[in-house]
Structure 1
Amino acid sequence: MTIRTPAHRLLFQARLRLAGLSLLVMGALLYGAGFAMGRLLLQSQESAIRRELQALAGTLHDSLKPVLPQRARPTSALVAVLPGLCIAGEPCKAPDSLVERHVISATDPDRYKLRVLDQSGALIASSPGTPEAVSPAADQGWQLTQEAFGQRWLTYSIHLHHSNGSGEPVWGFLQISRSLNDLDREAQQVLWLGHGVFLSALLAIGAASWWLAGLAIAPLLEAYQRQEQFSADVAHELRTPLANLLALVEAERPTRSMVAEQPSIQSWDRVLVQGRRLQNLIGDLLVLASLERPCEREPATVCDLAEITADVMEDFSETAAAAQVSLIHTSWMSSAKVLGAETELSRLVINLLSNAMQHSPAGGAIDVSLKHQGRHFQLSITDNGPGIAEEMQGRIFDRFTRLDPSRSRLQGGSGLGLAIAQAIAVRHRAAIQVHSRTGCGSCFSLEIPAAEPPH
């Protein structure tokens, strides 16, 4: 979609908002679904680890139960059952490699840590390199611990019973800890992979949303283009018969010497005034229609904005004198080279100056200044009229917008002057800004890029 006019910009912004909203909603749904699936996957892995620890703890309990002494104390019987254990207070010997290959996997120091505690929580035996014992809970339960370097362990504690005596009294505690390194690595992989897939999907969703938004906006754009074409066709068809009608009225209009009745002459004069006003309106519509068609654009050349503005001010000198308005310039440049169409830039300055003239009271002044700011020239036209309310400043460049309809009609305004100025500014990659307060006048500033010097 090519941005050419304010209406095209509004359609572009509508398409952008529609595509952005669709992307936001679809992205949020996709991210939420991916996050939920990742959490379910990790929770299922954690549940499998918990079941594994429970099964392993039950197996170890059944293996240790027959060999436990009457009192909870360090004993070599524990090492006989689990060769990988180290008795508390004794040197820890490395198990035979043959035994290590066939020993139960619970003694694997990289994945599991075992601890045998008495009822007070004192350590009786543990696997090599086991961290400090986790305080046993009153009943069997789960505890999550983290070492100083970040490794996490999931610990499961159960009561140990011995078969001596009646009622199988509690002998101590068995703690088995499982490293969560594998789970954490898998979580990181799921996180990075999920975000990578999400970003790729987001790009695809963004492209699809932009395409679908274009399909949704296409009927509006087509309707707007038909309206533009209709306005141009109607204005063009009305121009010739209206010109002929005005010529006939001027030819048939009696002079004051020929007609004795004054009301008759005034009626003819009103017909001419309204006809010329309608002729100006049709001319403005045709200009606006031509500005909105890039194919009808004049070739861009290097123009002197200072010279164009000076010529317009000279043409307005008589009108300003009749309206008792002074044209002054407090800041001026002798030359301001810009790239554009001279006739269009002249029309832009004329419309801005005409707007200032319409709203300047008798005895007022219009200040026209031209400055160089970086890579731009700034043309400012300041009047001391009634000013523009803040809520109206965003609408003054719309078609047929009049702050004071009765005043504009009396002065022949069509309500298209600022819309034409804005369209010309857009074609020249320029911008018009308005600064005004009610009762303090208005300042219209045109910022237009300076022409690049030849290399």
Structure 2
Amino acid sequence: MAWPGPIPSSRLRLAAAYLAVIGVILYGAGYGLFGLLMRANWTALESEVETLAGTLHDSLKPLLPPDARPSPQLARVLPGLCLVGQPCASPPSLLPRHAVSITDPERFYVRLLDRRGALIAHSPGSPGASPTATIDRSGSAWTVVTGHGGERFLQYAIHLHRSHTPVHRGAEPTELDWGYLQIGRSLHGLEAERERLWWATQTIVGLALLVAGLASWWLSGLAMRPLLAAYRQQERFTADAAHELRAPVANLLAVVEAHRTQAPADQPATRDTLAVVHRQGQRLNRLITDLLLLARLDGPEAAAPTQPCSLVQIVRDLIEETGETAAAAGVRLQLVGGEQDIHVQGTESELYRLVSNLLLNAIQYSPEGGEVVLRLGDERGLAVLEVQDSGIGIAAADQQRVFDRFFRSDPGRSRREGGTGLGLSIAAAIVRRHRGHISVVSRPGAGSVFSVRLPLAGCS
């Protein structure tokens, strides 16, 4: 389906708005799900470390030596640990190695500290394994520690107690504060999982956005159908009204022309009246012709053949044809550039009308003694035509409306000149039809410059 006029850009903006809203929702949902999954993994990791710390604490409590210091008795309790100040020795058998499998450096590490927080034993390769290592008693039990090579560990610290057998029979056993136990769990797996979840979330959201983009384009098309129907109805009304008006206007002009040729020479009032009627009929006829042209230009692209057209030749022909009109208005025409031929792909009659409207508009609004300059050139695959006048200029508030139908920056002057108020609208429609761009730069009292950019032939 062909979408005329400004409707394609409106549909694109509507689809973009749909996609933006859906994109915000999808990204919000994706990031929320990602955060929930990562929080669940982190909670499971904390639970694992906390359970393991409690189990190890309960296992060590009855076996700990009385003093929290590096000693052979402590080495026998946990043979896989390295005592501070002594070399690390491998467990002599598989049984003790299994008993301290928690000290696997690829996943966990264990550190024992005395009540002052000084390190007394640690698993091989644990981060911060030095006699000066201390525990922050005022901080949280959970910390993240960076080990060798930048690997991060989730560390959990608890008080370590030892069982004390009472001296008197029947007394309850007591627990003595022995020191601290720190267990660290490698975050390498969690970070790898985080990266996998991140890219999975990005991929899913990206695919969902692609589907949402297609759906947005389809939905915007459905939403634009009533507007398209109204637009078509307006086009039909314009065309039908123009056709209905053309016949009576033609008859009116024919009758007036006949009366003018047959009117007696001694009836000047009758001749003046007929002249006014004839002039207004001609103006109405031009208006109808312009309305029909606009209806055709704003309609679906017709199968009118296009061909490379010489923009330089069109401009030169029009300067020659409008020279008499410019001279009568006291305006000088000047062509700048155009030494090399510039071809654009299009319909020659429409391009001719485009340049003619811009040129006549510049002449109409230029004062006597003024100058209209036409500049021709090309840049980055585009033909550039600029029409500069020395007229009254256009107020900044009116520059956005100058291409609207029936808009006149100086209504009185335009009507006196017989303009219909559709010249610049027709020029803008022709530029859109040729996939170009038209703009105006103006300052009140300093004239205006209308710029047209059209794709060069072979570059569109």
Query: Scaled by the length of structure 2, what TM-score is found?
Result: 0.89
Unaligned runs of 5+ in 1: none
CA, structure 1 residues 195+97, in 2 after alignment: closer, same or farther (shift >3 Å)?
Answer: farther
Q: SS where residue 44 of structure 1 aligns?
A: helix
**Code of the aligned partner of 2:111:** R
Q: SS where residue 150 of structure 2 aligns?
A: coil
* Alignment partners' CA distance in 2, 1:372 and 1:153: 65
CA, structure 1 residues 377+199, in 2 after alignment: closer, same or farther (shift >3 Å)?
Answer: closer
* Alignment partners' CA distance in 2, 1:209 and 1:92: 66
Tell me whether 1:259 sits opposite 2:267 in the alignment: yes
Unaligned runs of 5+ in 2: 167-172
Tell me whether 1:205 sits opposite 2:220 in the alignment: no
Query: Which residue matches 1:448?
Result: 454
After the TM superposition, which of the residue ranges 152-161 and 430-439 deviates more from structure 2?
A: 430-439
Structure 1 residues 403-418: aligned runs within 5 Å = 403-418=409-424
Structure 1 residues 15-414: aligned runs within 5 Å = 15-96=11-92, 98-99=94-95, 102-133=98-129, 135-138=134-137, 141-164=141-164, 167-253=174-260, 255=263, 257-259=265-267, 262=269, 264-294=270-300, 296=302, 298-333=304-339, 335-373=341-379, 375-414=381-420
Does the CA contact (< 8 Å) of 2:127 and 2:146 recur in 1?
no
* Alignment partners' CA distance in 1, 2:324 and 2:111: 105
The alignment yields a C-alpha RMSD, in angstroms, of 2.5
After the TM superposition, which of the residue ranges 330-339 and 207-216 deviates more from structure 2?
A: 330-339
**Code of the aligned partner of 2:109:** K
CA offsets 1:117-172 (integer angstroms, 9 cap, x no match): 11122222222222225532437811211125221111111112222367533111
TM-superposed deviation, 1:50: 1.7
**Code of the aligned partner of 1:219:** P
* Alignment partners' CA distance in 1, 2:252 and 2:157: 105
Q: SS where residue 158 of structure 2 aligns?
A: strand
* Alignment partners' CA distance in 2, 1:112 and 1:430: 68
TM-superposed deviation, 1:302: 3.4
Does the CA contact (< 8 Å) of 1:291 and 1:423 recur in 2?
yes
Does the CA contact (< 8 Å) of 2:119 and 2:134 recur in 1?
no
TM-superposed deviation, 1:358: 1.4
Query: Scaled by the length of structure 1, what TM-score is found?
Result: 0.90
CA, structure 1 residues 190+100, in 2 after alignment: closer, same or farther (shift >3 Å)?
Answer: farther
TM-superposed deviation, 1:414: 0.7
TM-superposed deviation, 1:258: 3.8
* Alignment partners' CA distance in 2, 1:389 and 1:424: 24
* Alignment partners' CA distance in 2, 1:35 and 1:377: 48
Count of residues in correspondence between the two structures: 447
CA, structure 1 residues 449+125, in 2 after alignment: closer, same or farther (shift >3 Å)?
Answer: closer
After the TM superposition, which of the residue ranges 149-158 and 91-100 deviates more from structure 2?
A: 91-100
CA offsets 1:236-288 (integer angstroms, 9 cap, x no match): 2221221012111222357462426x3x5443333222221111100011112
CA, structure 1 residues 171+394, in 2 after alignment: closer, same or farther (shift >3 Å)?
Answer: same
CA, structure 1 residues 358+297, in 2 after alignment: closer, same or farther (shift >3 Å)?
Answer: farther
Q: SS where residue 175 of structure 2 aligns?
A: coil
CA offsets 1:380-413 (integer angstroms, 9 cap, x no match): 3222110112222222112111111111111111
CA offsets 1:31-60 (integer angstroms, 9 cap, x no match): 122212222222222222222222222222
After the TM superposition, which of the residue ranges 362-371 and 346-355 deviates more from structure 2?
A: 362-371
TM-superposed deviation, 1:208: 1.0
Query: Which residue matches 2:170?
Result: none
